[in-house]
Chains A and B, each alone.
Chain A
Amino acid sequence: MGVTLVVFLLLHASGDPTHFMLPQDATESDRQAFRHAHGLDQPLWIQYGWFLWNAARGDLGRSFAYRAPALEVLMGRVPATLELALASTLLALLVGIPSGVIAAFRQNSAFDYLVMVSATLGQSIATFWLGLMLVMFVSVQLGLLPASGRGSWAQLILPAITLSTWLLALLARMTRSAVLEVLRREYIRTAYAKGLAPRAVLVRHALKNALIPIVTLLGVSFSYQMGGAVVVETVFNWPGVGTLMFDSVLRRDYPVVLTTVLFVGLAFVAVNFLVDVLYGAIDPRIRLSSVSGSR
């Protein structure tokens, strides 16, 4: 709610939707009529009050641009965003964690250097540029994949790779250092001393303990992924929530902006909740201590 108030005030403080929803040279009386029809001629605090009152009853207003309920407009975009987010996160997990683990086990090997150099590059590369380069080489030059749009699996690959690069690189680096850290612990030595095979040590003791910081990272990276999504959605013409928010801010489509902000806020809370739950699943001690701590 605090977020919506800030966004609400910022939006209303600058610009006027009638400049975008009506012809450039619409008359002042037409503009007044538009403002009146959407309640924009009311004092700000009344408008915000109405927004909260209606939102509490599940009505988030109608989009000025699309002339449809803002929630409906948003929900039309959510599947595309989820698809892209899941695909890129999965890719980052499946490639990033294993490479980090191998790099840690083979510290200072050629593979380790390769992972570290690629990870540094991957983290510092501009998403926008990477996306354009992928389109240029993979799509235009090699003709392997479509350049943009959504609909087939093929169209998901390039945007997913582009969006996952940053997270993938981060995960690889974090995993490597977390595993290295764990490998120096005494219980690992004990495990080896028990005569366990190296793989068993890795999975049962090392990886499991290294997972905690990685899960934390995943939760934190969510907001970054949302920002990156705007860029990736733009380059690949992916009809997602990021560009909807971007466009709606530019044309001052207040109801859609507020609805999207609410959605992103809720998603953020949900992801962090999920992270907390995962902690418990990975390490029962966290679950116990937080329960006893809160009582």
Chain B
Amino acid sequence: MAGPAASRRLSGRAFVRVSLVTVVAALLTVCAHVVPPRTAPVKPGEAAAQAKPQLDEWVIAFSEDISGLDPLTTTTGAIYYNVFYHVFDTLVGYEGRNFTPTPRLAESWKYVNENTLEMKLRKGVKFHNGDDFTADDVLYTYQGHKDNAKLGSGYVFDPVEKLEKVDAHTIRWITKGAVASLMPNIAQVLFIVPKSRARMGEEAFGKRPVGTGMYRLAADWRRDQPVRLTANETYWGGPGASPPRLQFKFIREPSTRVAELQNGTVHVAENIPLPQVELLKRGANTDVVAMKGARIIMHSFNLGKDPFTNVKVRQAINHAIGRDVIVKSLLQGYGQPHVGLFAPGWMGDGAKVEPYTLNVEKARRLLGEAGLPNGFEFEWQVTEGVFLKDREIAEAVAAQLKQAGITARLKITERATIFSNFFAGNYAVISTQWPTTADPDRYLQWLFIRTKAVNDAKEAEPVRQMMGEARRILDPAKRAQKYQEMSKLVYDSGMLMFVHVQDELYGIDKRTGWTPYPVRALATMHWYATHPTIKR
């Protein structure tokens, strides 16, 4: 038996000793080499000692994967929008708490008649590659959306008859009748790309997209790598974007995002889990900031199915829920009761309604009047870990409903199943969510048209009618009024199980001084607000 091990004159104990020593030594060596380059967390004293505590580069961590950077092939996911808003410009922007339309690449706009929206485009704007920005680029981008049904932007462009070029810096949107949501919708979807994209090819453009935005790509982007941006010194709004560099990074695990924040290697991170909020607030260099009322959590009733066809049953359920305790103890105050159909700041918010309060007596009485004195049972489909405390909140609400004699059987399921069942109308009660948005029409379509259960229900017929009317009202004030009417109707007749509106939590490095704005573009909005020198 002469194996290779035996032929060597290495003794047993020496073998063991050598391998152990090697491993330990290797570990120590690597550790020793690592210490210096690591960004040390800034101690309070050091921070004061530094003349300029500003960071040259912000690293922004997202909870969603980056799957592409070309606005004509990618339309989903928060990270794309955030990168897009920095690299590209839209024609108009919707800014601030009340979503005020603001000029971007379109300098001004007016309705020539009910179905013709004319836009004057900004002159002297250049793309990162030096191309001049003209109406042709808008037409090219629009056509890109029309030609690629896989983008799923049909909800924006289906009502558009055509887009006309009047001259090099004037365009006209011709719509099929009056379409009030056109402007807010294109502000979210139509990121202008240069017509020379056709020449560059999809692949090359996806690696190094070219826009007119405040930042440009610092290097080619590769899959599974962060996106690195650098300030565009020829930006039409003027140079001076700060910090000069930005990095967008995908970090899946919330605890890892928190750890990187603590290490000072990430400076803004989204979706911070509630249990770790205190940790970041206590940190010398870290903090948590909340975007108030950023996300509505909707619990839809199947309006075509008994007993939810009965308005009294729906009101009874809404009177059996104690919202304050959920917001205060489960959400630690990062939310508010959902009153009216919309979230704060949305068009149509502020309808005069009597908020539902916890009143078990009344709930039982209403159930009795509806012919269900002994209560009833239903199934409630909800996700786990998709929005803050989703499962815990559902459990708490179910326990509250029990007091009124209503039994909610929770079915915890994943998002794919929720979506399928929502569309097909296979549910009694189902929970979905909607982020903050400049125009309520998409949200309403989701609630009242996309799900077969509600779309087919007679109950919702007046709502759909009002939606259609509101869509044609071009005057924002009058349109808001219509939405308030609708909000009152939906709320008073309890067409949803109204529970809460949730804040969006961001962890930050204090050196950034970053505050969230209710638009998906995380950072641009901050700079617009804090850099008055930059032209709007």
Q: Do A and B come from one complex?
A: yes
Chain A residues proximal to chain B, CB less than 8 Å: 14-16, 18-27, 29-31, 33-34, 37, 65-68, 73, 76-77, 91, 94-95, 98, 101-102, 132, 135-136, 139-140, 143-148, 152-154, 157, 197-204, 207-208, 234-237, 239, 243, 247, 250-252, 282
User: A73: which B residues are within 8 A, CB to CB?
Assistant: 223
Contact between chains at B155 and A26 (CB < 8 Å):
yes
Closest chain-B Cβ to A210's Cβ sits at a distance in Å of 12
Contact between chains at A148 and B251 (CB < 8 Å):
yes
Contact between chains at A27 and B11 (CB < 8 Å):
no
A202–B15 Cα distance when bound, in Å, is 11
Q: Mark B1-41, 1 if CB is under 8 A from A, else 0.
A: 10101100011111110011011000100110111001011
A78–B38 Cα distance when bound, in Å, is 27
Contact between chains at B40 and A143 (CB < 8 Å):
yes
Contact between chains at A22 and B152 (CB < 8 Å):
yes
The answer, yes or no, to whether B445 is at the interface (CB within 8 Å) is yes
Sorted nearest first, the 5 A-B pairs with minimum C-beta distance are A15-B416, A22-B152, A33-B149, A202-B12, A26-B152
User: B415: which A residues are within 8 A, CB to CB?
Assistant: 19, 250
Contact between chains at A239 and B224 (CB < 8 Å):
yes
A207–B8 Cα distance when bound, in Å, is 14
The answer, yes or no, to whether B512 is at the interface (CB within 8 Å) is no
Closest chain-A Cβ to B175's Cβ sits at a distance in Å of 16
Contact between chains at B223 and A66 (CB < 8 Å):
yes
Closest chain-A Cβ to B404's Cβ sits at a distance in Å of 32
Contact between chains at A132 and B255 (CB < 8 Å):
yes
Q: Which of B19, B35, B263, B265 has the most CB atoms of chain A within a 10 A radius of its CB?
A: B263
Which single residue of chain A is at the shortest CB-CB distance from B255?
Answer: A132
Contact between chains at A15 and B75 (CB < 8 Å):
no
Closest chain-B Cβ to A263's Cβ sits at a distance in Å of 16
User: B253: which A residues are within 8 A, CB to CB?
Assistant: 234-235, 237
Main secondary structure of the interface of A (DSSP, over half): helix
Contact between chains at B414 and A250 (CB < 8 Å):
yes
Closest chain-A Cβ to B517's Cβ sits at a distance in Å of 21
The answer, yes or no, to whether B446 is at the interface (CB within 8 Å) is yes
Closest chain-B Cβ to A285's Cβ sits at a distance in Å of 10
Contact between chains at A34 and B149 (CB < 8 Å):
yes
Contact between chains at B11 and A37 (CB < 8 Å):
no
Contact between chains at B19 and A153 (CB < 8 Å):
no
User: B34: which A residues are within 8 A, CB to CB?
Assistant: 144-146, 152-154
User: B152: which A residues are within 8 A, CB to CB?
Assistant: 18, 21-23, 26-27, 30-31, 34
The answer, yes or no, to whether B111 is at the interface (CB within 8 Å) is no
Contact between chains at A204 and B20 (CB < 8 Å):
no
Closest chain-B Cβ to A278's Cβ sits at a distance in Å of 12
Q: A23-B75, A27-B155, A153-B30 are in contact. Are A65 and B20 (CB under 8 A)?
A: no
Interface residues on B, range: 35 or more
User: B250: which A residues are within 8 A, CB to CB?
Assistant: 237
Contact between chains at A147 and B31 (CB < 8 Å):
no
Q: Which of B19, B20, B149, B155 has the most CB atoms of chain A within a 10 A radius of its CB?
A: B149
User: A16: which B residues are within 8 A, CB to CB?
Assistant: 416, 419-420
Contact between chains at A203 and B23 (CB < 8 Å):
no
Q: Which residues of chain B from 462 to 477 have any CB-CB distance to chain A below 8 Å in the complex?
A: none
Which single residue of chain B is at the shortest CB-CB distance from A34?
Answer: B150
The answer, yes or no, to whether B403 is at the interface (CB within 8 Å) is no
A23–B263 Cα distance when bound, in Å, is 35
Main secondary structure of the interface of B (DSSP, over half): helix
Query: Which of B65-73, B305-313, B331-339, B370-378 contacts its partner?
Result: B65-73
Contact with B417, one of A15, A22, A243 (Cβ below 8 angstroms) = A15
User: B122: which A residues are within 8 A, CB to CB?
Assistant: none
Q: Which of B12, B38, B74, B256 has the most CB atoms of chain A within a 10 A radius of its CB?
A: B12
Which single residue of chain B is at the shortest CB-CB distance from A246?
Answer: B252
A73–B33 Cα distance when bound, in Å, is 33
The answer, yes or no, to whether B391 is at the interface (CB within 8 Å) is no
The answer, yes or no, to whether B284 is at the interface (CB within 8 Å) is no
Which single residue of chain A is at the shortest CB-CB distance from B206?
Answer: A67
Q: Mark B227-250, 1 if CB is under 8 A from A, else 0.
A: 000000000000000000000001
Q: A98-B20, A157-B27 are in contact. Are A23 and B417 (CB under 8 A)?
A: no
Contact with B5, one of A24, A95, A204 (Cβ below 8 angstroms) = A204
Q: A139-B259, A157-B27 are in contact. Are A197 and B11 (CB under 8 A)?
A: yes
User: A239: which B residues are within 8 A, CB to CB?
Assistant: 224
Q: Which residues of chain B from 272 to 308 have any CB-CB distance to chain A below 8 Å in the complex?
A: none
Q: A91-B23, A140-B263, A247-B65 are in contact. Are A25 and B442 (CB under 8 A)?
A: yes
The answer, yes or no, to whether B76 is at the interface (CB within 8 Å) is yes
The answer, yes or no, to whether B493 is at the interface (CB within 8 Å) is no
Contact between chains at A203 and B419 (CB < 8 Å):
no
Contact between chains at B252 and A243 (CB < 8 Å):
yes
Which single residue of chain B is at the shortest CB-CB distance from A239?
Answer: B224
User: B137: which A residues are within 8 A, CB to CB?
Assistant: none
Which single residue of chain A is at the shortest CB-CB distance from B10?
Answer: A203
Contact between chains at B416 and A203 (CB < 8 Å):
no
A234–B259 Cα distance when bound, in Å, is 13
A203–B415 Cα distance when bound, in Å, is 56
Closest chain-A Cβ to B297's Cβ sits at a distance in Å of 14
Q: A25-B446, A91-B23, A203-B10 are in contact. Are A102 and B16 (CB under 8 A)?
A: yes
User: A31: which B residues are within 8 A, CB to CB?
Assistant: 152
Q: Which residues of chain B from 435 to 474 have any CB-CB distance to chain A below 8 Å in the complex?
A: 442, 445-446, 450
The answer, yes or no, to whether B381 is at the interface (CB within 8 Å) is no
User: A65: which B residues are within 8 A, CB to CB?
Assistant: 65, 67
A148–B256 Cα distance when bound, in Å, is 7
User: A76: which B residues are within 8 A, CB to CB?
Assistant: 223-224
User: B35: which A residues are within 8 A, CB to CB?
Assistant: 143-144
Contact between chains at B263 and A147 (CB < 8 Å):
yes
Contact with A207, one of B5, B23, B262, B445 (Cβ below 8 angstroms) = B5
Which single residue of chain A is at the shortest CB-CB distance from B75?
Answer: A23
Contact between chains at A146 and B38 (CB < 8 Å):
yes
